[in-house]
Amino acid sequence: MDVQAIKQRFGIIGTSPLLDRAIDIARQVAPTDLTVLITGESGVGKEVFPKIIHQLSARKHGPYIAVNCGAIPEGTIDSELFGHEKGSFTGAHEARKGYFEVVNTGTIFLDEVAELPLSTQVRLLRVLETGEFLKVGSSKVIKTNVRVVAATNIDIQRAISEGKFREDLYYRLNTVPIKVPPLKDRKEDIHLLFRKFASDFAEKYRMPTLQLDPDAVKLLVNYRWHGNVRQLKNITEQISIIEQERNIAAQTLSKYLPEGQYRDLPVLYRNAEDKKEINERDLLYKVLFDMKKDIHDLKQVVGEILQNEGDFKQVRDENARLIKKLHHDVESVDQSVNELHLHANHDDEMEPIQESEFVEESLSIQDKEIDLIKKALAKHNGKRKNAAQELGISERTLYRKIKEYDIT
């Protein structure tokens, strides 16, 4: 059976090469008994791949069961998977078979496998390696012949480094990896999927099918779809039910799309890798703008000092606080600003950070700082300790600045 026939049989919509590659791997591995690990973001449709593998395998006449490992409480997961004996724990009024015993000769799909407790991971590893397991509360070894297909939407390598997932189990599960692409990497399929869902909901609710105008199609395709196919389907159903007008414009569609995900936003980041990167960039820009405000405030304070030399003591504390905060901000973001500027120069759509304004402000502050130090030293007849106290900085810092600025 070729990839196109598999799509038709299992109702898979899309022409993306990445999707076709994932389906083709599932088709090739199905006749074997190799363990398969399916990875991909939440909502991409990972659950269809174990069905493909099972139906195209020699086990297709055997049982098939899907288990959501993240939905079963930690205290009962061992009992659910491996069974238990009567009286093995409180509430165990009779013996019970687990999924691995019930699905013998068939296929078991372990969804969200990374949510398994470490103790259960040890039991699962034994099943994968020897085909044996123990019921909870029993010492009798039970044999099973089960094909295991697992799936996860988290970074297992990170989970391993954090001690939340066993490395040996990962390599045992990951005999054949299948990566299901996110919707943002299948832009050619987004409108196809919308039309399919719109048609299904029109038939279900007995109403005309939704149509998108060109601007709405563009908005739909450029949206990031963090919830992937599941999110697209839900939004299509919402619009089908709520909107009376069947021809949907971009303005109407935008009301159903959560803000902040409309497009890849090259101004903020290059590769749209993850939300964390966006947040880091946003925070960095905020720090830069805060620094600019601090510089402005500092200039005002310095102006007051120069105009009211007799009131130097009155504004000293505020001046010292601003200088200290500014130095801290400059040191903490200096490296990040350089990296950000480097990224910006490699991004055609990102406006380069204008350095001229920051350089000009920095030189101005340096001159004012030198002037303040000289005034403080003059006021206290060259006594550095008293001058440092007057400026609100340590004597060591004052000494370093005197050397740095070559103040005599």
The DSSP H or E segment spanning 324 is: helix 312-345
Residue 18 sits at φ, ψ, to 5 deg, of: -65, -40
Q: What's the pLDDT score for residue 192?
A: 96
Distance CA 158, CA 144 (A): 31
pLDDT of the residue at 300: 64
Indicate the DSSP class of residue 274: -
Count Cα atoms within 13 angstroms, Cβ side, for 243: 25
* Per-residue pLDDT at 265: 43
Angle at 70 between CA 66 and CA 71, to 5 degrees: 75
pLDDT for residue 392? 81
- Give pLDDT, residue 277: 46
Q: Which residue has the tokens 């060109």?
A: 214
What whole-number distance in Å separates Cα of residue 183 and Cα of residue 16?
10
24-31 LR contacts (CB < 8 Å, sep 24+): 25/176, 25/178, 26/52, 26/53, 26/56, 26/178, 27/1, 27/2, 27/3, 27/52, 27/56, 29/53, 29/176, 29/178, 30/54, 30/55, 30/56, 30/57, 31/56, 31/57, 31/58
Q: How many CB atoms sit inside 10 A of residue 45's CB? A: 19
pLDDT at 348: 46
Those residues of the chain that have pLDDT short of 50 are 263-278, 310-312, 337, 344-345, 347-363
Note the residue count of the chain: 408
Query: So what's the pLDDT on residue 1?
Result: 82
